[in-house]
Amino acid sequence: MTAPRILILAAAASALAACASTGEPSRYQTEMNRLETDCTARDGILIPTGATSGQPARDYACEIRGGSAIRR
Global confidence as pTM? 0.58
In a domain, residue 71? The reply is no
The answer on pLDDT for 54 being more than 80 is yes
33-49 exposure pattern, b = at least 16 Cβ within 10 A, e = fewer: bebbeebeeeebbbeee
Q: State the DSSP H helix or E strand holding residue 54, giving kind and residue range, or none if neither.
A: none
pLDDT digits (tens, 9 = 90+) for 26-36: 999 999 999 99
pLDDT digits (tens, 9 = 90+) for 1-47: 566 666 666 666 676 665 556 678 899 999 999 999 999 999 999 99
Structural domain including 14 reads: 3-66
The number of folded domains in the chain is: 1
DSSP helix/strand/coil, 63: strand
Q: What is the mean pLDDT of residues 51-56?
A: 93
In a domain, residue 29? The reply is yes
Cβ-defined contacts of 58-63 (< 8 Å, 24+): 60/32, 60/35, 62/35, 62/38
